[in-house]
């Protein structure tokens, strides 16, 4: 799980190093993982109804004896603070659990177009 302290560090790093204004809406990407692609496909309409755009569902390449995972990538332009992003992460951990997905794997961020 991503801790609130990690959110504080992320925002501190973005303030110092990101080439974008973090006080404005940014493009936030969120990732879910599961070995069963159909489970990820099944949650896409629910996430789209909440305003998220589907970027794609990608197959990871298996390493050694571990099976491949499927990754669901969604995104949305949003303005976040440490507290709102921490709350969003908690919502997505709960979402993954409710839909019996293997994991919510976190987020990335970039400038909104």
pLDDT at 113: 80
Say yes or no to pLDDT of 66 above 90.
no
pLDDT at 5: 95
Long-range contacts of 102-108 (CB under 8 A, 24+ apart): 102/33, 102/34, 102/35, 102/69, 103/32, 103/33, 103/34, 104/30, 104/31, 104/32, 105/31, 105/32, 105/33, 105/71, 106/2, 106/30, 106/31, 107/28, 107/29, 107/30, 107/31, 108/28, 108/29, 108/31
- Quick check: 103 and 55 in contact, CB under 8 A? no
85 exposed, middle or buried (CB, 10 Å; 0-12, 13-18, 19+)? Answer: buried
pLDDT in tens, 1-24: 999 999 999 999 999 999 999 999
pLDDT in tens, 32-50: 999 999 999 999 999 999 9
Percent of the chain with pLDDT over 90: 88
Say yes or no to pLDDT of 59 above 70.
yes
- Across 64-84, average pLDDT: 90
- Across 94-103, average pLDDT: 98
């Amino acid at each position: 799980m991503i801790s609130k302290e990690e959110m504080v560090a992320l925002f501190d790093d973005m303030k110092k190093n990101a080439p974008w204004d973090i006080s404005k809406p940014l493009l936030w990407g969120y990732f879910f993982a599961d070995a069963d692609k159909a489970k990820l496909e099944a949650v896409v309409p629910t996430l789209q109804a909440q305003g998220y755009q589907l970027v794609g569902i990608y197959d990871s390449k298996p390493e050694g004896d571990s099976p491949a995972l499927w990754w669901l990538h969604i995104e949305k332009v949003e303005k976040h603070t440490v507290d709102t992003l921490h709350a969003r992460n908690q919502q997505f951990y709960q979402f993954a659990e409710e839909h019996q997905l293997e994991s919510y794997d976190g987020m990335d961020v970039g400038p909104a177009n």
